[in-house]
Amino acid sequence: MTFDIRLSLRTLRAFASVVEHGSINGAAHALHVAPSAVASALGQVEAEFGASLLIRTRSKGITATAEGRAMADRFRHLLEDYHGILSEGRDIAQTLSGTLRIGYYAPVAPAFLPQLLQPIMADNPELTLDLQAHDNASVQTALLDGRVDLILFAGQDLRSGITTHSLLTLAPYVLVPRGHPIADMPRCPLARLTKERLVQLDRPLARPYVDGLFKAAGIAPHIVARSDSTEMVRSLVGSGIGVAVLNMRPRIMRTYGGDELVAVPLDGHAAALELVSGHAEGQPRRLVALVLDRLHAWSETNEALALCVS
């Protein structure tokens, strides 16, 4: 079997680098080649596909079309597979290099993701991380656009083209300062919160989720503060300003300000949030598959279950 290889690996790498850096000069600098060589590679790719994959403007440089971003992502996968084959063929200890790009739902991933990634980074010293905080909608867009390799998010409003795996079921709980009357309750009825001042996590998924809990129960909560930062919500609760309804318990029940907190399960039949992993449909590249395997194994441990309040 013979193949007519019209585009070299250098050409594919140059195109992907231009999409990543947004300019010919930026790509040339990153690849240590002349700008003219990069410009020639762009012309070869677009001529081969018979379509304009890049938008060139004086003010913004070069921006890829949706098709161009998708093609650049496929080129990156192909280049990594190529280097992986060479590495395996040399029969040496395999290490991973390059950049792993993870999009994550901000309120939950910091509780476990760094500890999970640390041994992978230790085993692969040439590997770098690009961690991007997102809301539930934007993280899926980033994955489908090829701007991240895998995502961690609450699996609601799932878009087509994404393969998911359930990690944790996150039931709601009431966060109170130690010494608060609710802290001694085994479970807290939602109606009990009508007597409390509420601090709300103001993020695109968290806020409508909590609003929906109260609306379904016919309760109008007394909201005294909102913040888009989980740690700020925790600190406001710890200082005694109010209580909060959240879904994932961090490892340490103490705020930045040193106040102790208590998580009390919310009574009733409130729908839980599902923390899921996601990657683009198809076989993930080797590095992504490794991280996903570690995530899935971790989700079944007691350490993972300790982050859930039930």
249-262 pLDDT, tens per residue?
777 888 988 999 99
Span 155-174, mean pLDDT? Answer: 86
Q: Which of 3-17, 80-94, 125-139, 205-219 has the lowest mean pLDDT?
A: 80-94
Q: Which CATH number fits domain 9-77: 1.10.10.10, 3.30.450.20, 1.10.1740.10, 3.40.50.300?
A: 1.10.10.10
Span 149-167, mean pLDDT? Answer: 87
Q: CATH top-level class for 172-271?
A: alpha beta
Q: What is the CATH number of domain 95-168+274-305?
A: 3.40.190.10
Equal fold, 9-77 vs 172-271 = no
| pLDDT score of 258 | 92
Q: Is the pLDDT of residue 234 over 90?
A: yes
19-49 pLDDT, tens per residue?
888 888 888 888 888 888 888 888 888 888 8
Q: How far apart are CA 214 and CA 198, in angstroms?
A: 12
3-state secondary structure of 203: coil
Pairing mode of beta strands 162-170, 150-154: unpaired
What are the backbone angles phi and psi of residue 225, rounded to the nearest 5°?
Answer: -160, 145
Domain boundaries defined on the chain: 9-77, 95-168+274-305, 172-271
Q: Which of 90-94, 117-121, 144-148, 182-186 has the lowest mean pLDDT?
A: 90-94
Distances (CA, A) of 108 to 1, 85, 93, 164, 251: 50, 36, 34, 17, 11
User: To the nearest whole number, what is the mean pLDDT of the chain?
Assistant: 85
